[in-house]
Amino acid sequence: MLNVYIPSRQLRSSSDSRMLRIPHVRTKAFGHRSFSYAAPKIWNSLPYDIRHIDSTPSFKAALKTHLFKIYLDP
């Protein structure tokens, strides 16, 4: 369901092994709301440091801090 992004050429993003491929959708009405489209888009929008945390408790804490900074800072 979720696929790792593998670029066809050597790009700066090639070094980020935890990027997910965002699939092409046919209809914007339903395709952009599907899990297979929305999950990689949200995951790829996270900062590099958060995506590369290996520990689940550390990931949760960093994600919560990141989300609070986004929504509570003016």
pLDDT tens digit sequence for 21-74: 777 777 767 777 788 888 899 999 999 999 999 999 999 999 999 999 999 986
**Number of domains the chain is built from:** 1
* Burial class of residue 40 in the structure, from the number of CB atoms within 10 Å of its CB (0-12 exposed, 13-18 middle, 19+ buried): buried
Q: What is the pLDDT of residue 18?
A: 80
Q: What is the pLDDT of residue 7?
A: 66
Tokens of 17: 């092994």
**pTM of this structure:** 0.69
Q: What is the pLDDT of residue 53?
A: 94
Residue 61 lies in a domain: yes
Cβ(25)–Cβ(41) below 8 Å: no
Overall residue count recorded for the chain in this entry: 74
| Rounded Cα gap, residues 36 and 25, in angstroms | 10
- Per the structure, the complete domain to which residue 55 belongs is given by 12-72
Residue 40 lies in a domain: yes
- Distance in angstroms between the alpha carbons of the first and the last residue of the chain: 36
Mean pLDDT of all residues in 7-16: 63
